[in-house]
Structure 1
Amino acid sequence: MAAVLGLDIGGTKLAVGVVTPDGAVHGLIVEPTRRWEGPDAVLPRLFDLGHRAVAAAGLGRPIDAVGISCGGPLDSAAGVLISPPHLPGWIDVPVGELTRQEFGVPTYLENDATAAALGEHRFGAARGVSTMIYLTISTGVGGGAVIGGRLHRGAAGNGGELGHVMVRPGGRLCTCGRRGCLEAYVSGTNIADRAAEGLRAGLGSGSSLRSADPLTAADVAAAARDGDALARQIWTETTDVLGQALTDLVNVFEPELVVLGGGVTRAGAMLLDPVAATVAREAMPPAAKAVRVVLAGLGDVVGVVGAGVVALEAVDVEPA
């Protein structure tokens, strides 16, 4: 049975595993990225994790290829990370060639959210759906789309940067350099930053968030669930902005399904329900009637599965 190695390079974590044509992940390993160490330190650790995952998978045969998912901008054809905002200082890193030299098999690089969209379409919540949008809400915000059953990559291979649609003209500075992007409001990083800014401004004098060190989006979600006033304010703004952005995307693409993944979606219904309600209420009636908004079916392994599917398709192994 064919097997490929999936490597998912995130701003917070590295996830690796061997993916087989049935979408199963074998030998999964997840460790912190420690992105501040830079590519010269992180990539050797990533490769070591890959070798350990292959050994742990115990499939008794070599891998056929390696798929890599990482946030863009990147050059998929050349296998180069150009300047991912979630990996400061990673400029023109030839990750594809370095991975090929390390493992001795063909290597394929894809935008992480695009790969995740492909993974969800093949094996997750969007299996069998013709047109879908995927949004990953994590350290940053990325996106991908399958249109008419085909993955949308765009003319330069970076299509689907849905995290950089503008939601607040002249608003918060985004990592991409623009102001008011969706990512600048709903990413895990920016949820925490907005809460911290509120605390520094003297809001929430009795807020439980004051004891969080470091303050994270998960802390904000938990405190909002417990009724903390500042946390609820931040969380409500987050779901409002996300719902408005998805409404626009639903009107443009008129998909059958919107799939939300990434670490922030661990909040579950507290995120999904208000966002889905906004789309249902505000999207154009035909689009609102046609679409469902759901959480990713592959959970935390979506990046590894997506990277694996990219490699499986590239080496002409049809996913089961």
Structure 2
Amino acid sequence: MALPPAVELRRRNRAALLEQLHRHGPQTRAALTEALELNRSTIGALATDLAESGHLQETTGQSTGSAGRPSTLVACVPQSITVAAVEIRADRLRFALVGLGGEVLERSETALEDGDDPVSAVAVITGGKAGDAVDAVAAMPGLVDEGTVAHSTELGWVDRDVAADLEAATGREWQVVDTATAAAVGEWSRGDAHEARKLLYLHGGRGLTAGLVIEGRSQRGGSIQLGHIVVEPGGRECACGLRGCLEAEMEAFVFAEDIENATLAAGMGDAAARDRLRRSGEDLGRALGAVVTATGPDEILFGGWLRELYLSTAAPVRSALAETTLPHLRSKLRLRTPVLGDEGALMGAAETGFAAVFDRMR
């Protein structure tokens, strides 16, 4: 049954106020009035209501040194809403319990040995805290769709219903996103990529993946198997069964193990290492051409070991991309490295959970 219009409007405004403070930090009531385009009395009533429910608190801000008292700021109470976030990789598992406002309340990490099932380890590393969180999100490398990992080079999974497996292991529902998409959400929400409408994040692990987010939100179909775009028809055989895939042509697994040595050797004048990096940059640029043509991003971030590769081969990457992309698609395209580094995927998983929380509140 539909709620009365006044109640519906109040719900939306409550959610908007919480989301504003969650994303941008403590603010004065005047600043909230301007940001949300609501009148002062409405902001005051909402802030009072949310303070009574334990979601917000008012604190005294820093003095500017001028006459008068410091401003009173409205701030989130981190413990009032928490999201459990995990990042699953082939060799490690990371967990963070993140509170409203983006504060990391708890964090842990554990190594995984060959043969360990990462999903089973999630229940151990979260220590039951996932069950108390309002939402829970897992990020993992591969092609992910609606809770299923369709293909993951790094984890060796094909058509695994990870959402169902996580629920069985922990006793609660989980959202599942791919590492690249999670990192894109993290960079948009907590990094410096919030001005990008369409943000494409490339992740280099033991496989190559990409994630597209629009205005900071993941999209169904935005999980991209970058490593299995064919860049050399009839080329090297790939583990997926195709020939000439980007992963196979670049020997991505080798780069994942020793990108530092490869770039160091090239920097010291090793001609073979330089040639290998150049060819890999060209292959990456050609694969990107197909992705850019299909998705039209305005910013691309190179994460994982692709960060080091891009910093060493920016010119051949850009040149190959220019040869395979329409001018109007690349004219305003920005290519760079992420600012959050390894934190991006874990923080993005948490932010994916908070986005779902705010949606349910509306």
TM-score calculated relative to the size of structure 1: 0.74
Q: Higher strand share goes to which structure?
A: 2
Q: Say which of 251, 275, 282 aligns to 2:293.
A: 251
Report the identity percentage: 28
What corresponds to 1:153 in structure 2? 220
Worse-superposed segment, 114-123 or 96-105: 96-105
Q: Secondary structure at the match of 1:11?
A: coil
Distance in 1 separating the partners of 2:228 and 2:193: 23
What corresponds to 1:143 in structure 2? 210
**1:272 CA displacement:** 4.0
8 Å contact 2:181–2:210 — kept in the other structure?
Answer: yes
**1:241 CA displacement:** 1.0
**1:37 CA displacement:** 0.8
Confirm or deny that 1:166 pairs with 2:233: no
Distance in 2 separating the partners of 1:84 and 1:307: 18
How many positions carry a matched residue from both structures?
Answer: 281
What corresponds to 2:15 in structure 1? none
Query: Partner letter of residue 295 of structure 2?
Result: F
What corresponds to 2:126 in structure 1? 50
What corresponds to 1:70 in structure 2? 140
**1:135 CA displacement:** 1.2
**1:143 CA displacement:** 0.9
Query: Partner letter of residue 179 of structure 2?
Result: D
Confirm or deny that 1:114 pairs with 2:190: no
Confirm or deny that 1:239 pairs with 2:307: no
**1:151 CA displacement:** 2.9
8 Å contact 1:6–1:17 — kept in the other structure?
Answer: yes
Change (3 A) 1:181 1:49: same
Bigger relative contact order, structure 1 or 2 (CA pairs below 8 A, ≥6 apart): 1
What corresponds to 1:58 in structure 2? none
Change (3 A) 1:279 1:109: same
What per-residue deviation string (whole Å, max 9, x for no partner) do you get for residues 222-257 of structure 1? 222222222222211111111222233333433211
Structure 2: runs of 5 or more not aligned: 1-77
Q: Secondary structure at the match of 2:352?
A: helix
Task: Choose 1 or 2 for highest CA Rg.
Answer: 2
What per-residue deviation string (whole Å, max 9, x for no partner) do you get for residues 7-46 of structure 1? 1112343222223444454544344433x3142xx43434
Task: Name the Cα RMSD after superposition.
Answer: 3.2
Worse-superposed segment, 292-301 or 241-250: 241-250
What per-residue deviation string (whole Å, max 9, x for no partner) do you get for residues 95-141 of structure 1? 43443355444321122222222222323342131122221112110
Structure 1: runs of 5 or more not aligned: 56-60, 193-214
**1:67 CA displacement:** 0.6
Distance in 1 separating the partners of 2:350 and 2:234: 39
Distance in 2 separating the partners of 1:149 and 1:302: 13
Distance in 1 separating the partners of 2:91 and 2:252: 10
**1:290 CA displacement:** 1.0
TM-score calculated relative to the size of structure 2: 0.66
Confirm or deny that 1:37 pairs with 2:115: yes
